[in-house]
Chains A and B, each alone.
Chain A
Amino acid sequence: MEYEAVIGLEVHVQLKTNSKVFCSCSTEFGAPPNTHTCPVCQGMPGVLPVLNRRVAEYAIKAALALNCQINPLSVFARKNYFYPDLPKGYQISQYELPLAEHGYLEIETPQGKRRIGITRVHMEEDAGKNVHGEFGDPHSYVDLNRTGVPLIEIVSEPDIRTPEEARLYLQKLRTIMRYIEVSDADMEKGELRCDANISIRPKGETRLGVKTELKNMNSFRHVQKALEYEIKRQQKVLEEGGIIVQETLLWNPQLGATETMRSKEEAHDYRYFPEPDLVPLEVSQEWLEEVAASLPELPDEKKARFIEEYGLSAYDAEVLTSAREMADFYEAAVKAHPDNPKALANWVMVELLGRLHAENKSLLEAPVTPQQIAQLVALVDKGTISGKMAKEVLAKTYQTGKDPQQIVEEEGLVQLSDESELEAIVEKVLEDNPKEVEKYLAGKTKIVGFFVGQIMKATKGKANPQVVNKILIKKLQEKGEQQ
């Protein structure tokens, strides 16, 4: 039987505000344990939370970028459970009335565009961290630096059908969070965390199967692998006549397998109820409009515009808009040389990114400016240098930081385009190679490449290949007519 998977993702994104969500402690990562804490985030008796407005602003921004409707009134709630990294014994979150609902995000799959629904986006505080066995003694320690760092939880509809779509969804989510600058959303750093709910059902069936929840997937690759594993596991259980047990599973990346964490019976009862220490968050129309106005152009809009405005292919536009800094780099280059956006796209994507990739560098570390790329392409377009020469010039710019124009001048790299000069050289090459001319005239037209090579050799590579081609074909035709 053929099965299909039904996947929904719950993603936590850490917001990069300077201070925590309910107190003014720093959110900076990597400080000595418990130095970024105060009575409020330590959960001391009698202290009270006060909402950081900036957190609400970032959360609204994220929700808008995910096409959500923002609730004019949303309510904080307490999620109650005991754990040493949770100093109050409850986490302040949102439950019945979340910040935002009914959104979606679109992903580009090999089968085409897919829209994944977003059920809700809500705000909550992060927990601290338990440290075990790090100080060479049998005790466990608690570091509360992360306690109260702001998070948003983004819950998707069960619209995802394949592990690949899940990965694409997460990557798109990261792109959007980075575009709107509310989070760096780096999974390896825990700035983006993902849990998955997954069930399978026979293809064509509309009812849902029993789901399991997957946790502990710390990279896009692991999410995909864990889901692939879990689909196979569930399929095997069903094919062997078994039933899927509703449970929470942990992905074990070493084993490449999922393991039971807790059964449905052991599931927590979080006893959610409205947080009496906070008033409901009111989002006025005015505030909403203000935040909406601060949103930058989002990846989907940008991609459409790149296709429309610059005549790029969908693929090129997708690659160039996959990170905001790349799109910005590209557009800065287009601004400096507006005549040939397609060539610029190629130079940025293939030549520049290729080099950076080889060195494991990001575009932000590129030793080449958008203006230099633009200048390079302009030199090619004007015929001053050939494409081949341009690659060498780029290599030099990359190494030295010098402008392409300067390199061309310093090294006398100007292309030989003068027709009368080139005609003489072509004539000489043909005279020196009568056998090859014979072959050409006998129909072996591929031998043109040999002549071009000889001409380039004679001009030390400076001959303009287009001009050479034109003259060569003309001369060879003349020879044919003379016969």
Chain B
Amino acid sequence: MELCWMTVKEAREALDKGELGAGELARAILDRVEEVESRVRAYINVFPGEALETAEKVKGGPLAGIPLAIKDNICIRGLETTCASKILKGFKPPYNATVVDRLREAGYVLLGKTNLDEFAMGSSTENSGFFTTHNPWDLDRVPGGSSGGSAAAVAAGECLAALGSDTGGSIRQPAAFCGVVGLKPTYGRVSRYGLVAFASSLDQIGPITRTVEDAALLLEVISGHDPRDSTSAPYPPHKAQELLFKEVRGMVLGLPKEYFGEGLDPQVRGAVLEAVRVLESLGCRVEEVSLPHSPYAVATYYLVATAEASSNLARYDGVKYGYRAPEHKDLYDMYVKTRSQGFGVEVKRRIMLGTYALSAGYYDAYYLKAQKVRTLIKRDFEEVFRACDAVVTPTSPTPAFRMGERLADPLTMYLSDIYTISVNLAGIPAVSVPCGFTREGLPVGLQIMGRAFDEATILSLGYAYQGVTDWHKKRPPV
């Protein structure tokens, strides 16, 4: 077996048995990066020297010797963290994100930092301030976003697994587009300390992996209460075993009718409904349900997220770190030029939207109203989860689209997150699992949503599903 296609679990066993050396594994992955990276462009930075050095010195821990990639909006001490933005070019944080501390304790090997839409704002990685990542299944198509670099790296064999972040679908949608597994944990499950904030009340770090089992292994390492994040839940990390082996027979799955209507690609629909039949064959009962406020999710999201973003991104002002416009008349001019030159179009668009939504006279009509609708969306889920153990939907209405296709029309771009956004607004967990391919050979993702802090149910369903299917074993042509 080619080492670059190993799962974390397989590599763990091979390393533990001594059949494989950590250095050997790291070298194999770096060779693969060398081979395909010029075409995929998943990484902003690769650290071959450091990766080999860490691998050679590796000691114990659940991820000892496992080569991983990290989205470049997660801080690692002393290494450039750019968020794919010119404004943070050259910024090296003097601290680790909590998830990075935990991965280090677990013995991981850092391969590099992956590309994203600038500040995680986008659904295609085309908004990266540096370059666009390509979908390993079709290099003319986008890998999805914003964690497109991480998803593409996992799909292309450029790492065994990766971390992404998900504010409105940024882990699940690229996972679906790239044919890999992406988990957005419950809000508060994983510490946000060191994750460069886009929308603080929605952001959550999660794993992108080849199998649901690997997602559980990574979640076990990165989750758990963190005193440095006041919004982190006071729960200890879940054991991967507990996350995967819940009895799925007898589980009730809700199929929300709002997620199967207009705008859904027929091939995606077909693949998802086929996956539902597979789950039925495993003993699950399927019921049609309704999440009546779903049509308002995108509008709500683009008010809440942009409002928070407008404030979160105020710190990039050219004063302390990152980019500063070289020429300016006075302080105000420095602010304007720095931010005009440093931020990309989409980031500026969202800062302006958010600033507007929070402005005196508009606050009640936009931000406050959006918060109220957010509560209604949350209640929709609470209602459904009274009768259902999980909700099953497509991850994205279409498979990966062509590069440039949606750039001119932000609204169409925003609609590619239509099925993933509600989960963030409600704060619940969801996982995207590969469930088939279109005739063009593009992967399709199945999204399983669960109750807050019940990752065990959705991961057990995904694990059981992968036990009887092999979509996740297909490799891209790249």
Contacts and interface: CB of A to CB of B under 8 A. Distances in A.
Interface of A: 39, 42-51, 78, 80, 82, 84, 87-90, 142, 269, 271-273, 276-279
Given A84-B331, A273-B358, A276-B308, A47 B314 contact: no
Contacts of B360: 269, 271
Given A89-B314, A269-B359, 6 more contacts: A45-B83, A48-B192, A48-B229, A88-B315, A269-B360, A273-B311
Given A87-B315, A87-B319, A89-B311, A45 B229 contact: no
Give the interface centre of A48, A82, A84, A142 by most chain B CB atoms within 10 Å.
Answer: A48
B369 interface: no
Give chain B's interface secondary structure class.
loop
B345 to A, nearest CB: 21
B358 A80 contact: yes
B194 interface: yes
Contacts of A279: 230-231
Contacts of A46: 73-75, 81, 93, 97, 192-197
B329 interface: no
B319 A273 contact: no
Given A142-B319, A273-B311, A273-B367, A47 B230 contact: no
20 contacts: A42-B320, A45-B75, A45-B81, A45-B91, A46-B97, A46-B195, A48-B228, A48-B231, A50-B229, A80-B310, A80-B311, A80-B358, A88-B315, A89-B314, A89-B315, A271-B355, A272-B358, A273-B363, A273-B367, A277-B200
Contacts of B73: 46
Nearest to B192: A48
Interface string B363-398: 100010000000000000000000000000000000
A47 B95 contact: yes
B361 to A, nearest CB: 9
B214 interface: no
Contacts, number: 103
A45 B196 contact: yes
B268 interface: no
Interface SS majority for chain A? loop
Interface of B: 73-75, 81, 83, 88, 91, 93-95, 97, 192-197, 199-201, 227-231, 307-308, 310-311, 313-317, 319-321, 331, 335, 355, 358-360, 363, 367
Contacts of A39: 93-95
Nearest to A273: B358
Contacts of B231: 48, 276-279
Nearest to B360: A269
The 9 A-B pairs of least Cβ separation, nearest first, read A89-B314, A276-B200, A271-B358, A276-B201, A45-B196, A46-B196, A46-B194, A269-B360, A43-B315
B95 A273 contact: no
B230 A45 contact: no
A79 to B, nearest CB: 10
Nearest to A85: B319
B233 to A, nearest CB: 11
Nearest to A81: B314
B335 A45 contact: no
B358 A48 contact: no
A50 B196 contact: no
Given A82-B317, A90-B311, A44 B93 contact: yes
A143 to B, nearest CB: 12
B375 to A, nearest CB: 13
A318 B346 CA distance: 64
A44 B311 contact: no
B193 A49 contact: no
B241 to A, nearest CB: 31
Contacts of B367: 273
Contacts of A90: 311, 314
B230 to A, nearest CB: 5
- The residue in A45, A46, A89, A279 that gathers the most chain B C-beta atoms within 10 A of its C-beta is A45
B93 to A, nearest CB: 6
A386 B310 CA distance: 77
With most chain B CB atoms within 10 A of its CB, the pick from A42, A46, A82, A90 is A46
B360 to A, nearest CB: 5
A80 B314 contact: yes
A312 to B, nearest CB: 50
B286 to A, nearest CB: 36
A414 to B, nearest CB: 69
A19 B94 CA distance: 21
Contacts of A82: 314, 317, 335
A272 B363 CA distance: 9
Contacts of B97: 46
A47 to B, nearest CB: 7
Contacts of A80: 310-311, 314, 358
B165 to A, nearest CB: 10
Contacts of A277: 197, 200, 230-231
A418 to B, nearest CB: 78
Contacts of B316: 45
Nearest to A40: B228
Contacts of B311: 78, 80, 89-90, 271, 273
Contacts of B317: 82, 84, 89
A41 B263 CA distance: 46
Given A78-B311, A87-B315, A278-B230, A45 B93 contact: yes
Contacts of A273: 307-308, 311, 358, 363, 367
A277 B198 CA distance: 12
Given A45-B88, A277-B200, A87 B230 contact: no
Contacts of B314: 80, 82, 88-90
A343 to B, nearest CB: 57
A286 to B, nearest CB: 19
A273 B320 CA distance: 25
A190 B97 CA distance: 36
B369 to A, nearest CB: 13
B359 A271 contact: yes
Contacts of B74: 46
Contacts of A44: 93-95, 315, 320-321
Listed residue (B94, B196, B319) with the most chain A CB atoms within 10 angstroms of its CB? B319
A272 B192 CA distance: 23
Nearest to B88: A45
A470 B93 CA distance: 89
Contacts of B313: 89
Given A48-B229, A88-B315, A43 B93 contact: no
Contacts of A78: 311
A177 B359 CA distance: 36
Contact of A50 (B91, B230, B320): B230
A27 to B, nearest CB: 20
**A43, A87, A88, A277, most chain B CB atoms within 10 A:** A277
Contacts of A45: 75, 81, 83, 88, 91, 93, 196-197, 315-316
A80 B192 CA distance: 22
A48 B197 CA distance: 9
Contacts of B228: 48, 50
Contacts of A48: 192-193, 228-231
Nearest to B191: A48
A42 B311 CA distance: 16
A80 B311 CA distance: 7
Contacts of B227: 50
A82 B73 CA distance: 23
B365 to A, nearest CB: 14
Contacts of B195: 46
A271 B314 CA distance: 12
A80 B358 CA distance: 10
Q: Which of A80, A84, A89 has the most CB of B within 10 A?
A: A89
A233 B222 CA distance: 64
A401 B97 CA distance: 60
Given A87-B315, A278-B230, A47 B193 contact: yes
A142 B314 CA distance: 17
Contacts of B199: 276
